[in-house]
């Protein structure tokens, strides 16, 4: 519905977007951007209605907004860096996503993304990083802090073998490198028993993953939450729910 290309010192505030035909706002090739006080809505079942799509852009602030759509609330794509997202209520939707990166073996990078004081309510995913098998590049220096989950699916997820449902699985080797990712102060409720999922590739895997003060309960009474890791390296605090004992040194 609204696209900004090659803009510097951009300020977007006070807009209301309803039922865009595809993604609501696109930011491409921009530098020094402040986005605030937006209300973006679309039905939960509406496909590809991302709230804010970011690509090849640097130094963005997204804050004090509501985004509820049928896809990612915020999607951060390749060659983007220094992005701060705060005080955003996300839901419904697919969460706040880094990626997807590396489709078709592409080289893409994302770094210095920091999400804090945000709420995910009734989302399909929460804090998500997704990269394609066979891609190249990196996603690094990413943090999620003081995050609240309210009946969210896949609250914490890294998928280094992401494949679109409409595409066949890639047989290409190599991975987009994922490193220096932290989750601190994530609380609330999960609709999935698997509340933490680090699905990293068979190569280098994911490095320096930090899980601290994560404390969630199941949205289904009586169910216990757990974590699943595949070739994920890092550290976690051991006395909260879910425990994450599967991280490798």
The catalytic residue among 17, 24, 63, 94 is: 94
Tell me how many degrees the CA angle 25-72-69 measures, rounded to the nearest 5: 75
Please say whether the beta carbons of 71 and 45 come within 8 A. Answer: no
Judge whether 94 counts as a catalytic residue.
Answer: yes
Distance CA 50, CA 37 (A): 17
Distance CA 102, CA 177 (A): 10
Tokens linked to 230: 């595949």
Q: HSE on the CB side for 146, CA within 13 Å? A: 8
Catalytic residues: 94
């Amino acid at each position: 519905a609204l696209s900004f290309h090659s803009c510097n010192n951009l300020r977007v505030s006070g807009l209301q977007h309803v039922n865009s035909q595809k993604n609501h706002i696109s930011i491409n090739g921009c530098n020094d951007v402040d986005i605030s006080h937006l209300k973006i809505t679309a039905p939960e079942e509406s496909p590809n209605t991302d709230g804010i799509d970011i690509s090849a852009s640097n130094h963005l602030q997204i804050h004090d907004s509501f985004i509820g759509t049928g896809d990612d609330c915020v999607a951060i794509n390749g060659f983007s860096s220094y992005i701060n997202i705060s005080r955003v209520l996300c839901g419904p939707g697919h969460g706040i996503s880094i990626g997807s990166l590396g489709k078709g073996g592409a080289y893409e990078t994302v770094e210095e993304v920091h999400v804090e004081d945000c709420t995910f309510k009734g989302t399909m995913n929460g804090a998500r990083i997704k990269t394609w098998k066979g891609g190249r590049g990196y996603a690094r220096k990413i943090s999620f802090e003081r995050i609240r989950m309210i009946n969210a699916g896949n609250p914490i997820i890294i998928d280094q073998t992401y494949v679109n449902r409409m595409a066949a699985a890639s047989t290409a080797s190599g991975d987009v490198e994922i490193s220096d990712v932290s989750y601190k102060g994530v609380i609330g409720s999960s609709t999935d028993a698997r509340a933490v999922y680090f699905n990293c590739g068979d190569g280098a895997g994911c490095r320096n993953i930090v899980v601290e003060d994560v404390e969630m309960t199941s949205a289904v009474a009586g169910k216990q939450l757990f974590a699943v890791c595949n070739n994920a390296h890092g550290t976690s605090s051991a006395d909260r729910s879910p425990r994450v004992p599967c991280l490798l040194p």
